[in-house]
Amino acid sequence: MNIARLTLGLILGSVLTACQVPVSFVRQEVIRKPILVQPVNSSSSPLYVWHGSGQPGPVRVTIDLSEQKAYIFRNSENVGWSYVATGRSGYRTPTGTFVISEKVVNKRSNKYGSIVDANGNVIRGNATAGVHSAAGGRFQGAKMPYWMRLTNNGVGMHAGAIPNPGSPASHGCIRLPYTMAQQLYEVAPSGTRVTIVP
């Protein structure tokens, strides 16, 4: 049994080593999508992979709307990826190239949230400021931790629910898993380029 594992390991090691391309031969950026190996009894895959904390160099992000994934680069090397939840039907996430123009650790939406009473109890969830109201209630914006603004009309990246990985779910923002949003927030300064592709 151990000999079989050793043999398999040597074969895989030689295949993986043989497939590596020297950096000098790379002419353009390549998005490398890692192969995820899950235990036999596992039915879920990770929401993100990150190995860029110790890497030096400028950060860039590419968000692929068709895949609902973000790819993070440092010095053109892919250092991580994450599932995202972008704008659902009726709440389009814009495409193009943007830069992070504002960063706020504990941001709240000024447009989407809930109507709460004086004790903080939710009277109406999924409310829009100025549209929904309730007697004795006030609007409380949805939490958007690790906010990184991309547009002047309120679209940015932030921590949020990814209810169905691979499917849009937001009001137009790019939601990231909490820990991934925190990691990206720490390494991506204002001015970081973010490209969103269809």
**Per-residue pLDDT tens listing for the chain (198 residues):** 455 444 444 444 443 434 443 444 343 444 444 434 333 334 568 999 998 878 889 999 999 999 999 999 999 899 999 999 999 999 999 999 999 999 999 999 998 999 998 888 998 888 888 887 777 888 998 999 999 999 999 999 999 999 999 999 999 999 999 999 999 999 999 999 999 999
For the question of residue 171 being annotated catalytic, the response is no
Quick check: 151 and 97 in contact, CB under 8 A? no
Query: Is residue 81 a part of any domain in this protein?
Result: yes
CATH number at residue 88: 2.40.440.10
Residue-range definition of the domain harbouring residue 88: 47-107+146-197
For the question of residue 132 being annotated catalytic, the response is no
Query: Is residue 131 a part of any domain in this protein?
Result: no
**Active site residue: 19, 51, 158, 171, which one?**
158
pLDDT at 160: 97
Query: Is residue 19 a part of any domain in this protein?
Result: no
Total domains, the chain = 1
Quick check: 64 and 51 in contact, CB under 8 A? no
Query: Is residue 86 a part of any domain in this protein?
Result: yes
Query: Is residue 137 a part of any domain in this protein?
Result: no
pLDDT at 25: 38
**Active site residue: 19, 51, 171, 173, which one?**
173
Please give the model's pTM, rounded to 2 decimal places.
Answer: 0.75
